[in-house]
Amino acid sequence: MNKDIAQTAALQHENKHSAEPYRFPVITRFFAQFFSVVFHPLFIPFYVVAFLVYVHPAYFSGFSFYTKFELLRSTAVNTILFPAFALLVMKGLGFVKSVFLHTQQDRIGPYLANMIFYFWMARVCFNFKPELTPVVASFMTGVFLTTAIALIANIFSKISMHAIGCGGMLGIFIIIMNSNSMLMTWPLSLALLITGIVCTSRLIVSDHSQQDIYGGLAVGLLCQFAAAVVIL
């Protein structure tokens, strides 16, 4: 009798703990959410183009301030403003339940819309100026391919958009490193640090699994490499 009672109590204790997942401290979740916002996948293309324009010593050497500004403006409009506006319209029309895109179904519409905007941005980079470095067009083509592959992967798994963005950033940095046009020690190290922080943050404040994170990184990396093989 006592043995049965002890076993029942142990089972209840085990079920209680298994039903209550570990909650990280508030300060940890705050910073995880902060990094998730600062390095939101909508912002990553703008960050990368800004790096190419203002930090890389060779790609935009000799270009006028107006030319650099026009490229950054086009990037901001096509990769941040239009996708964000499209998402808000979809939310208003009831096509998505939440702007945070918690479900795979919610992500279908934004993926389709972003494919259009990223494809257009890649075309802008190809036609912006004849002398414009092809690495920008390659990067934006990789972003477009990433979105297309992510749309297909979304059928099977809620692949992490944040991890996709970080994978694309790592991919283009590795491509630049292999071109020997800039010493990429500190930029690549910083990109790896950001990727680790962002992916960890998504595991803390979202319902993504490790497979979602690893899958997103792989898609972002491979699509950048594929675009580079074709264009560069």
pLDDT in tens, 162-179: 999 999 999 999 999 998
Tell me what the mean pLDDT of segment 141-167 comes to. 94
Q: What is residue 38's predicted lDDT score, i.e. its pLDDT? A: 96
Pairwise pLDDT comparison (7 vs 80), residue with the higher score: 80
Q: What is residue 206's predicted lDDT score, i.e. its pLDDT? A: 87
From first CA to last CA, the distance across the chain in angstroms is 76
191 in Cβ contact with 170 (< 8 Å): yes
* pLDDT band, residue 21 (cuts 50/70/90): low
Arithmetic mean of pLDDT over the chain:
88
* pLDDT tens per residue, range 50-60: 999 999 888 88
Tell me what the mean pLDDT of segment 39-61 comes to. 92
Tell me what the mean pLDDT of segment 113-132 comes to. 84
Pairwise pLDDT comparison (217 vs 25), residue with the higher score: 217
* pLDDT tens per residue, range 66-75: 888 999 999 9
pTM over 0.85: yes
Pairwise pLDDT comparison (181 vs 29), residue with the higher score: 29
Residues of the chain with pLDDT > 90: what percent?
Answer: 66
Spatial distance between the Cα atoms of 56 and 62, rounded to a whole number of angstroms: 12
For tokens 């941005």, name the residue.
121
179 in Cβ contact with 139 (< 8 Å): no
Please determine, for residue 124, whether its predicted confidence score (pLDDT) is greater than 70.
Answer: yes
* pLDDT band, residue 18 (cuts 50/70/90): very low
For Cα atoms 169, 175, 179, give the angle at the middle one, nearest 5 degrees: 145
